[in-house]
Structure 1
Amino acid sequence: MPRRLSSVRARTTLGATAVVAVALVAAGLAVVLLLRANLGGQADLEAEVAARDVASQLATGVPYRSLDLPDADDHPVQVVDERGRVRAAGEDLDAIGGTGSPDVRPDPSPPQGDDSDDDGDSDSDDDPGRGEVSDDGPRFSTGSATVDGRTADYRFAAVEATTPANETVTVYAGADLAAARDAVGTVTRAMLAGLPLLLAVVAGVTWLVTRRALRPVEGVRAELAEITAAGDLARRVPVPESRDEIAGLAATTNATLAALEDSVAKQRGFVADASHELRSPIASLRTQLEVAAAHPGLLDVDGLVEDVVRLQDLAADLLLLARIDAGDRPPERPVALGRLVRAELDRRAAGDRIPVQASIEADPRVMGVPGRLSRVIGNLLDNAERHADGAVRLSLREEAGTAVVRVADDGPGVPPADRERIFERFVRLDDARSRDEGGAGLGLAIARDLVTAHGGDLTVGEAPNGGALFEVRLPTV
């Protein structure tokens, strides 16, 4: 179960459900707040309309006892003068709170004479004029009222008015909040009830869609598992018809399998060729040693030494190729290529079958390993001397930030069809199959691998005077 919950499908489903849950909660909260504000504003408007209606009656001179008051159940009304005395109230109003006075019965005493003056002006500059209703916005408050024994919360609006007798009073009219609160509660409960169902739908749809989307991935995984178990690198994973990331993954996987198959095939071929090449000198050594053991006088020391040297060189070449394949890169440093080529020519001058005609026109500096660069030059010269009839030429120059080394011979050359094949390992062309003359077929392969490891390129073409022309290009520093 923990593994199942840690799957991509489970994490995607949980993540999508969590995001939708947060979005729904935020949206629901916004809706509830907007609904509450809207209903609250509607209650304020109803209370204000009721208060202004009563205030207008008072401003036109309607006596308190003759006021047409709204039903107290819908809009409880209380009229309070500047001294806090109740001048009028709804008939069914039993108690009230949050207004100008807690009393609900009108005060029978007449108003005091000092409530007005002879000039007809009210005592306060803020009070409305005689026979007028205040133009200022009403004051709002939240309170409660008991009507016919039922207590409820109300939103009260307070509007001032001045009677024709110059008495300023404040009219309090309320609007029931129960309907607004019931509406908000109903919407909230509906959202809370529908949220789990909606989240369940989202989770189920996400789970199904994710399973459908990841089905090709499961096919790739299963096929890779079978390929690993069977060891058959010729098989390929299925590529879905959709042009999406999963199709790209499957195509890349197949490309990787193809490269791996090719690499394994080359490795197996290399091992087989190496075994074959090692078998001959070892068999020759064994034969000579057995003959020497039986007939000491027939011991060919020079032949033994030659076979041992050949075996030693072959082992060294195989070891170098293994290091190159493993990505072994000794520390590089700037190398003066002209000086390195001269040193290699001087080292091998005494043993050359054909003297090398050198033309060193520059001394470019390249980044590399001196020993491995010398090995490249040596292998190319060995190959040229092995196939040359009478001339081997070497040139070094710098062209557009590139060091160019050319080694040419006047031998039979390399046919165009074989110009890439000769760089493969253990490849010897028909005119060079002699093990004594042709070697093991590793020299050119090692040279190209070393040049490639130095960021350069090694190609072969036709020399101007016939024969083969090998060209090495290395970036300069």
Structure 2
Amino acid sequence: MRRRLASVRARATLGTTLVVAVALLAAGTAVLLSLWTNLSDQAGTQAERTAREVAAELAAGQPYRALSLDDDDRPVQVVTEDGTLVAVSEHLERISGTGTDTVRPASPPTAAPSGDGERDGAGAGAGEGDGDSDADAEDDDSAGAAGLRPGEIAEDPSYSDGSATVDGESADYRFAAVEVETEDRGTLTVYAGAPLSTERTAVRTALTVMLIGFPLVLAVVAGVTWLMTRRALRPVEGIRREMAAITASADLARRVPEPDTHDEVARLARTTNETLTALEAAVERQRRFVADASHELRSPIASLRTQLEVGAAHPELLDVPGAVEDTVRLQNLAADLLLLARLDAGERPAEARVDLAALAREEAAGRVRVSVDAEPADVSGSRGQLRRVLANLLDNAQRHAREAVTVTVRREDGRAVVAVADDGDGVPEADRERVFERFVRLDAARSRDDGGAGLGLAIARDVAERHGGTLTVRGTPEGGALFELRLPAV
């Protein structure tokens, strides 16, 4: 039992720990994903801010050379519509994850001569020519290739992840791409990056905390569960020890300790004690039954032996009728004991359809001073056992009646009712339950010489209960006894 209890504690601890581990793993994963997403969004916002600042300068006509591209931590690329790199931040040595991995402009920017808005070399290359060029001929109000008007910056940026090497240091970046439409250089895309090192460091720190904290939490959960389970099962061990002692001593008067709680263990202890009480009562009843049966059997056997011994010594003195009578009494008593044994063993009655009215008339036939008033009332059960009930009730009534016995059969509220009444002295109210106990005889009329062993009414009630019914006794207006058998009607 100790091993089983330990196993219960181990299973409870393991199960609780596994559940908590799964919950912590799911929660930790969700936290890390949420943290990474939020920090990546923040890096994207920073990259977008940088890209929009450069795009605003391009929309205002700022030359490539004059763009604010000197932030060492923020790599920036300016790419034309055909993918040509026209401007890039200083110290950028390598880049990936943007529109182009080029880190040198297509043509080095040159100083723009003063005059009518001429741009640097890259800009001149894009806008060279006389006033009759196709670019100047375009309508200023027409939209660019990206659906933007000159000087307009796209509202929705695009994001991508990549890496870059700036001034000899490589890192991962979150890039934002912002399109801008210029008057003389067409549609340009600005790529700006924000480093993800801070975000990765935060995620790694959180992961480290979880890897250290989760085992500690699981250890605490396992320890607490082990101790709480041990404490909860301690009363069970007390119940086990007491049950083992009861089994070893066969003392059914002992009871297991009941915890002063209202949980399942306390209910188990109470149920165990109730079972012990019922078992003690059953064993005691069995002991009394055996003792009473032995006592009842001793008398006819002794009488029969005496008569046979006298007959053997003096044949002329052999009382044959008396011997036959004792033999019949012995046979009836043995049959009663056998029936009680079968009933105690839980024998289920047959499920035949029985008409109590016809059965009452058959049993009353041939008996003196017995009248029957019966209407059809069918029940389901054993015809032989129900006949035995009616016979026992009629025997008891005739034994106590002065002049008449009345049998009534009727249906009442879905039940078949058989009432057997006599005009005798009745049964005192204090003894109306005792008469159904085995081997109980209330007066001299219930004597062995009169043929009663005190089993008839006990058998009748047991049979009634096995058939799902009841057998009770009360007084009649005339002062006699009225026994009522109630069974479920078919």
2:458 and 2:262 map into 1 onto residues whose CA distance is: 40
Note if 1:200 corresponds to 2:219: yes
1:356 Cα offset (Å): 2.7
Please give the per-residue CA displacement for 1:441-464, whole angstroms capped at 9, x wherever unaligned.
111111111122222222222233
8 Å CA contact 1:89–1:105 kept in 2: the answer is: yes
Q: Say whether the 8 Å CA contact 1:116–1:123 is kept in structure 2.
A: no
**Within 1, Cα distance between the matches of 2:414 and 2:228?**
57
Structure 2 residue corresponding to 1:335, chosen from 354, 361, 381:
354
- Note if 1:87 corresponds to 2:94: no
Q: Go from structure 1 to structure 2 and tell me whether the alpha carbon gap of 1:76 and 1:307 turns closer, same or farther (over 3 Å shift).
A: same
- Equivalent pair of 1:115/1:123 in contact (CA under 8 Å): no
Is 1:448 matched up with 2:461? yes
Q: Which one-letter code corresponds to 1:298 in the other structure?
A: L
Q: Aligned partners of 1:49, 1:284: CA distance in 2, in Å?
A: 121
What is the Cα deviation at residue 311 of structure 1? 0.7
Query: Relative to structure 1, is the Cα distance of residues 115 and 93 closer, same or farther in structure 2, using a 3 angstrom cutoff?
Result: farther
Q: 1:70 to 1:127 in 2, by over 3 A?
A: farther
Aligned to 1:126: 146
Residue number in structure 1 paired with 2:55: 55
In 2, distance between residues paired with 1:189 and 1:285?
Answer: 98
- 1:144 and 1:151 in contact (8 A); partners too: yes
Cα distance in 1 between the residues matched to 2:172 and 2:418: 101
What's 1:297 paired with?
316
The structure-2 alpha-carbon separation of the partners of 1:81 and 1:363, relative to structure 1 and needing over 3 Å to count, comes to: closer
Gaps of 5+ in 2: 109-120
TM-score computed with the length of structure 2 as normaliser:
0.90
Check if 1:252 corresponds to 2:276: no
Q: How far apart, in 1, do the equivalents of 2:372 and 2:144 lie?
A: 118
- SS where residue 43 of structure 2 aligns? helix
How far the C-alpha of 1:21 sits from its partner, in A, is 0.9
Matched, 1:99 2:98: yes
Q: Deviations over 1:125-145 (max 9, x none)?
A: 425433x24233122222221
TM-score, length-scaled by structure 1: 0.92
Match of 1:262 in 2: 281
> For the residues of structure 1 that align with 2:276 and 2:481, how far apart are their CA atoms?
37
Q: Does the residue aligned with 1:437 lie in a helix, a strand or coil?
A: coil
Match of 1:371 among 368, 373, 384: 384
Identity among equivalent positions (%) equals 62
Change (3 A) 1:433 1:83: closer
In 1, the alpha carbon distance for the partners of 2:47 and 2:385 equals: 98
SS in 2 for 1:225: helix
- Aligned counterpart in structure 1 of residue 254 of structure 2, from 235, 244, 249: 235
- Once residues 343 and 187 of structure 1 are traced to their aligned partners in structure 2, the CA distance between those partners, rounded to angstroms, is 93
Give the direction of change, closer, same or farther, for the CA distance of 1:256–1:179 in structure 2 (3 Å limit). Answer: same
- By how many angstroms is 1:49 displaced? 0.6
Match of 1:437 in 2: 450
Q: Which residue of 2 is the match for residue 32 of structure 1?
A: 32
Looking at structure 1, the residues matched to 409 and 37 of structure 2 have their Cα atoms a distance apart, in angstroms, of 89
2:179 equivalent in structure 1: 160
Q: 1:136 aligns with which of 144, 155, 159?
A: 155
Give the RMSD, CA atoms, in angstroms. Answer: 2.3
In the superposition, relative to structure 1, how do residues 452 and 234 fare at CA in structure 2: closer, same or farther (>3 Å)? same
Q: Look up the equivalent residue of 2:255 and give its one-letter code.
A: R
SS in 2 for 1:190: helix
Asked whether the equivalents of residues 116 and 167 of structure 1 are also in contact (C-alpha less than 8 Å), the reply is no
Structure-1 separation of matches of 2:2 and 2:289: 47
Question: What pairs with 1:105-124 in structure 2 (closer than 5 Å)?
Answer: 105-106=104-105, 107-108=107-108, 110=122, 111-112=125-126, 113=128, 116-119=135-138, 121=140, 124=144
Question: Aligned residues, how many?
Answer: 469
How has the CA–CA distance of structure 1 residues 163 and 383 changed in structure 2, closer, same or farther, with 3 Å as cutoff?
A: closer
Q: CA deviation at 1:310?
A: 0.9
Q: Identify the range of structure 1 (82-91 vs 18-27) with the bigger mean alpha-carbon deviation.
A: 82-91
Q: Secondary structure at the match of 2:86?
A: strand
CA contact (8 A) 2:91 2:166 kept: yes
Q: CA separation of 1:101/1:470 partners in 2, compared to 1, >3 Å: closer, same or farther? A: closer
Q: Deviations over 1:397-424 (max 9, x none)?
A: 3333332222222333222221111111
**1:277 offset after TM fit, Å?**
0.7
Q: Which moved more, 1:210-219 or 1:45-54?
A: 210-219
Contact 2:408–2:419 (CA under 8 A) maintained in structure 1 = yes
Q: 1:152 to 1:309 in 2, by over 3 A?
A: same
2: CA distance between counterparts of 1:218 and 1:6? 11
What pairs up with 1:352-431 in 2 under 5 angstroms?
A: 352=367, 355-431=368-444
| 1:68 aligns to 2:68 (yes or no) | yes
Partner SS state of residue 397, structure 1: strand
- 8 Å contact 1:381–1:407 — kept in the other structure? yes
Distance 2:372 2:4 in 1: 71
Alignment partner of 1:470: what SS?
strand
SS of 1:71's partner is: coil
- Aligned-partner residue type, residue 66 of structure 1: A
Contact 1:432 1:438 in 2 (8 A): no
CA positional deviation for 1:221 = 2.0
Structure 2 CA distance, aligned partners of 1:356 and 1:428? 23
* CA deviation profile, 1:277-298 (whole Å, cap 9, x unmatched): 1111112222222222333332
Give the direction of change, closer, same or farther, for the CA distance of 1:167–1:387 in structure 2 (3 Å limit).
closer
**Alignment partner, residue 16 of structure 2:** 16
Equivalence for 1:42: 42
Instruction: Name which of 318, 332, 335 aligns with 2:337.
Output: 318
5+ residue gaps, structure 1, are: none
Within-5 A mapping of 1:184-195: 184-195=203-214
Cα deviation for residue 34 of structure 1 reads 0.7
TM superposition shift of 1:438: 4.9
